[in-house]
Amino acid sequence: MQRGLKHRKGWKERWYQTVESPLPHPQLEALQPVALPESLAHRLHGPPLPAEIREKPEAFQPGGETAAWRYLRGFIEGRRINGYSRLISKPAASRRACSRLSPYLAWGNLSIQQVWQYTQAFQDAGHRRRDL
């Protein structure tokens, strides 16, 4: 995507071009860790976190990319997608019919491009066209 555009002309075409482009596959093994000087590492370390935020409550969704993919697959291939287009605007019912992907998208565990391509592949196979 491109920031700072003066108009939206061509926005839709650029959006589709972005989400349908091949996903990047960086070579993580080629990354070189950087050693920080001890004085800087000590300054950046900061105080210990308070006990009440070090443990996650049981009711919280698990974080991370693995959990994000589990939620995406569970939504697309499971029951929560049934009636999505009809129930998403109904507060009580939307809990049962929503993707629960927002935190994973917000924190970068999944990208819109990944979700789009996964959804398209499932839809192309003839599954749940209306809700997708």
Q: 27-80: per-residue pLDDT in tens?
A: 999 999 999 999 898 888 888 889 888 888 888 889 999 999 999 999 988 878
In this prediction, residue 1 carries a pLDDT of 60
Tally of structural domains, the chain: 1
Distance separating alpha carbons of residues 125 and 120, to the nearest angstrom = 9
In this prediction, residue 72 carries a pLDDT of 95
In this prediction, residue 93 carries a pLDDT of 81
C-alpha distance from residue 11 to each of 40, 81, 84 (Å):
43, 28, 26
Residue 128 lies in a domain: yes
Residue 32 lies in a domain: no
In this prediction, residue 30 carries a pLDDT of 94
Q: What is the mean pLDDT of the chain?
A: 88
Say whether pLDDT at 3 is over 80. Answer: no
Residue 7 lies in a domain: no
Distance separating alpha carbons of residues 106 and 45, to the nearest angstrom = 25
Residue pair 107/65 in contact (Cβ under 8 Å)? The answer is no
Q: How many CA atoms lie within 13 A of 75 on its CB side?
A: 23
Residue 95 lies in a domain: yes
Domain that holds residue 79: 74-132
Return the amino acid letter for 42.
H
Residue 98 lies in a domain: yes
Tell me the pTM: 0.76
Instruction: Report phi then psi at 17, rounded to 5.
Output: -60, -40
Residue 88 lies in a domain: yes
Distance separating alpha carbons of residues 91 and 87, to the nearest angstrom = 8
In this prediction, residue 86 carries a pLDDT of 84
Position 128 confidence tier, pLDDT thresholds 50, 70, 90: low
